[in-house]
Amino acid sequence: MTTELLPTPVSTVDAGPGPRAASTGRVRGLVCRNCRRPAPLALAYVCEACFGPLEIDYDLDGISIDRSTIAARPPGIWRYLELLPVDAPPARGLAVGSTPLVAADRIGARLGIERLWVKDDTRNPSLSFKDRAVAVAAARAPSLGIDTLACASTGNLAGATAAGAAAAGLPAFVFVPASIEPAKIDHALAYGATVVPIDGTYDDVNRLCIEVADELGWGFVNVNLRPFYAEGSKTLAFEIAEGLGWRTPDVIVAPIASGAMFAKLAKGLRELVQVGLIEPRPVRFVGGQPAGCAPVATAWSTETEVEPVRAPDTIVHSLAIGSPADGRYALEVARSSGGSIEAIDDLATAQGIRDLAALEGIYAEPAGGVTLAAAAAARRRGVIRLGDEVVVLVTGNGLKAPDARSFGLETRPAEPDRPGLAPVIPPSFSAFERWLQR
């Protein structure tokens, strides 16, 4: 894992019309991830020179933060404020972050991993890690003149944006493929958001949202607010390191959809090294994608570049992004760290959901099943070695996609259609005993 500082910008360029946020001492502005061209801190997300993605440019040498200061702060992502592109915690917002790092010995034994931890992000307010990213974008939005939050979503971001907007007192518009799980649509509706189902894939939805953002000036958290939004995922890396006593594990396993969170995990650890909170140490990064939509996993296994998947076919709707915006960066993280990116079939995903729930009491949505199965695949491949300490990220709650748990299971005609569910019986012990002894 490299710890070199990125080049320091020496000039600024015009990011176009629209409000700009004042730079702070620790945030210099935006910078292109490809050509390193600097830009002001504004509502912008694409480099004018090469059309590469913009990201936050920090003056890490000027940041002073220590472990005792962080420990004295309340739980949540804002305990790492100096490493986020926000001047102060928002006056109103959800209690996001500080989710548990759970020792998972039982499922670890099944996977052949002796030291396994599960980072359980099902405990966030809207039941997924997307709350982290939305919290940062929503906190920065007022300084950029944003009065409406919106998103393009495969499901989890819909609920997170709706909840985050409600907490901030802003209207929310959520654009989703019409095929996503009804529970995820209902989740966003519950927070008062306007949900706009689109007849198409996530990539179709995303293209529409780019146009809406340009025409209406709304703050789309994963479009024109993306440089700020993406920084929220780094807090997973910060919490993993803090939870392990300010050190890193040997391997981190995470799902890949757009690839942004996977790349930001590595960036978060580099930043902790650069500000002196942890010692530099190699970490292998393992990603998981559903086999029915695995552009990054395919590129990794074939040693090629990422090519879009035109027609995703998987039960893992939250990872079904055929043209991942950060796919090439996720690929670079896996390759440079000695990790891997695994393509997981839906049957293995469903089994991972069931195993994690039954063995550890953590109910994961399909992305979590993918991640568990990816850890098992990486162990078989030898990327995860005997004695390695491994952290697996579970990024969403299974209540969002309840049908996935029973995918691939067969039941006998005389049994109920949900395995484990007993038939309706009279309220007597004798009736229960007859059923128990059947």
Contact 103, 75 (CB under 8 A): no
Fold equal for 101-125+231-406 and 130-229: yes
Give me the phi and psi of 149, to 5 degrees please. Answer: -100, 145
C-alpha 19/C-alpha 79 separation (Å) is 28
Look up the CATH architecture of domain 101-125+231-406.
3-Layer(aba) Sandwich (3.40)
Residues listed for the chain: 438
Tokens of 430: 């004798």
Q: What is the CATH topology of the domain spanning 130-229?
A: Rossmann fold (3.40.50)
Tokens of 134: 């939305």
Q: Give the pLDDT confidence score for residue 409 in this predicted structure.
A: 81
C-alpha 332/C-alpha 305 separation (Å) is 10
Q: Give the pLDDT confidence score for residue 20 in this predicted structure.
A: 57
Q: Give the pLDDT confidence score for residue 438 in this predicted structure.
A: 82
Domains of the chain, by residue range, sit at 101-125+231-406, 130-229
Nearest-5° angle of CA 47, CA 51, CA 53? 65
**pLDDT tens track, the chain, 438 positions:** 333 222 222 222 233 445 555 555 689 999 999 999 999 999 999 999 999 999 999 999 999 999 999 999 999 999 999 999 999 999 999 999 999 999 999 999 999 999 999 999 999 999 999 999 999 999 999 999 999 999 999 889 999 999 999 999 999 999 999 988 888 899 999 999 999 999 999 899 999 999 999 999 999 999 999 999 999 999 999 999 999 999 999 999 999 999 999 999 999 999 999 999 999 999 999 999 999 999 999 999 999 999 999 999 999 999 999 999 999 999 999 999 999 999 999 999 999 999 999 999 999 999 999 999 999 999 999 999 999 999 999 999 999 888 888 888 865 444 445 666 778 889 989 998 998 888
Nearest Cα neighbor of 315 from 340, 341, 356, 352 is: 352
C-alpha 212/C-alpha 327 separation (Å) is 24
Nearest-5° angle of CA 105, CA 256, CA 41? 120
**pTM, entire model:** 0.90
Nearest-5° angle of CA 206, CA 267, CA 120? 75
Q: Give the pLDDT confidence score for residue 5 in this predicted structure.
A: 27
CB atoms within 10 A of CB 187: 25
3-state DSSP of the chain: CCCCCCCCCCCCCCCCCCCECCCCCCEEEEEECCCCCEECCECCCECCCCCCEEEEEECHHHCCCCHHHHHCCCCCHHHHHHHCCCCCCCCCCCCCCCCCEEECHHHHHHHCCCEEEEEEHHHCCCCECHHHHHHHHHHHHHHHCCCCEEEECCCHHHHHHHHHHHHHCCCEEEEEECCCCHHHHHHHHHCCCEEEEECCCHHHHHHHHHHHHHHHCCEECCCCCHHHHHHHHHHHHHHHHHHCCCCCCCEEEEECCCCHHHHHHHHHHHHHHHCCCCCCCCCEEEEEEEHHHCHHHHHHHHCCCCCCCCCCCCCCHHHCCCCCCCHHHHHHHHHHHCCEEEEECHHHHHHHHHHHHHHHCCCECHHHHHHHHHHHHHHHHCCCCCCCEEEEEECEEHHHCHHHHHCCCCCCCCCCCCCCCCCCCCCCHHHHHHHHCC
